[in-house]
Structure 1
Amino acid sequence: MPRIVKHSRSVITALALVLVSAGALATMATADQSVEPVRCEIRATPQGGMVSLEALAHADRNVSGTYSFHVESAGRSGGTNIEQGGAFSAAPGKPATLGAVTLDAKGAVFDARLKVTVDGKSIGCAERVGGAT
């Protein structure tokens, strides 16, 4: 009988270690599936005959990452192709301005794309502005 109890204890101990490890992995996987800590926004503000495009990151916690802001346009006076990017840090409660451009809005259509990468995960947003004279 003591031999069976000893064997059972070994099996129970091994099983407990497996379950604890599996529980830890499940907890880590759940943490990775949480809502993204960052949201992106492209804010368009008309200013006379111009339009200002501002790339913003909103954070639910302190974060650091990289961004890429791309603006293309076509209008009567030609086209525009602007690339901005780099590193950024953001904190809760105050949007981080990542990049900004001010362009002539007369008859032009602007396609703006923003890509934000934090903790190896990327999110993006896009905005189409303009078309009126």
Structure 2
Amino acid sequence: MPRIADHPRRATAALALVLLPAVALAAMGAAGQADGPVRCEIRVAPEGTLMTLEALVHADKNVSGTYSFRVKSAGRMGGTDIEQGGAFDAAPGRPAVLGTVALSANGAAYDAALDVTVGGSNVSCTERVGGRK
């Protein structure tokens, strides 16, 4: 039976077939929130028996757009289902706070999602917070 290593063209083609999906996935991941003029962030800050979630947008230039910020219970504890959204303006130099949610930090877990749309382009952030440690 012929071995791939004995055929340089086959070895190159096999290597390309293995690496191509990995390179494509890396490019898709990098094109999300890190590149471009707009990046999103969900910032979590503990405050006593509460935790605060802030939906933020970072901009490299003056932008206007819309956002949707959703926080839902993850798991069996509670029935939290919060949705905020609307229009925003952001400028370079400091993040714009789009929305804030204060939640109980009693061991419940929450799933937070922020979707930002600027000029027809979308950027999304997700975060799971809380839960028993």
Q: TM-score, normalised by structure 1?
A: 0.70
Question: How many Å separate the matches in 2 of 1:76 and 1:121?
Answer: 35
Residues 90 and 61 (structure 1 numbering): CA distance in 2 closer, same or farther, change over 3 Å? Answer: same
Query: Which residue of structure 2 aligns with residue 93 of structure 1?
Result: 93
How does 1:117-132 map onto structure 2 within 5 Å?
117-132=117-132
Verify the 8 A CA contact 2:39 2:59 in the aligned structure 1: yes
Query: Which residue of structure 2 aligns with residue 11 of structure 1?
Result: none
Task: Please tell me the residue identity of whatever aligns with 1:129.
Answer: V
Give the fraction of aligned pairs with identical amino acids, expressed as a percent: 66
Verify the 8 A CA contact 1:76 1:107 in the aligned structure 2: no
Residues 48 and 76 (structure 1 numbering): CA distance in 2 closer, same or farther, change over 3 Å? Answer: farther
Question: How many Å separate the matches in 1 of 2:104 and 2:77?
Answer: 9
SS, match of residue 79 in structure 1: coil
Q: Which runs of 5+ in 2 are unaligned?
A: 1-34
Verify the 8 A CA contact 1:75 1:107 in the aligned structure 2: no
Question: How many Å separate the matches in 2 of 1:105 and 1:80?
Answer: 13
Question: How many Å separate the matches in 2 of 1:131 and 1:77?
Answer: 10
Bigger-Rg structure (1/2): 1
Give the aligned CA root-mean-square deviation in angstroms: 1.5
Q: How many residues align?
A: 99
Residues 71-129 of structure 1: per-residue CA shift (max 9 Å, x gap): 00147762200000000000000100000000101010010000000010001000111
Q: TM-score, normalised by structure 2?
A: 0.70
Verify the 8 A CA contact 2:74 2:111 in the aligned structure 1: no
SS, match of residue 85 in structure 2: strand
Question: How many Å separate the matches in 1 of 2:97 and 2:130?
Answer: 22
Query: Which residue of structure 1 aligns with residue 70 of structure 2?
Result: 70
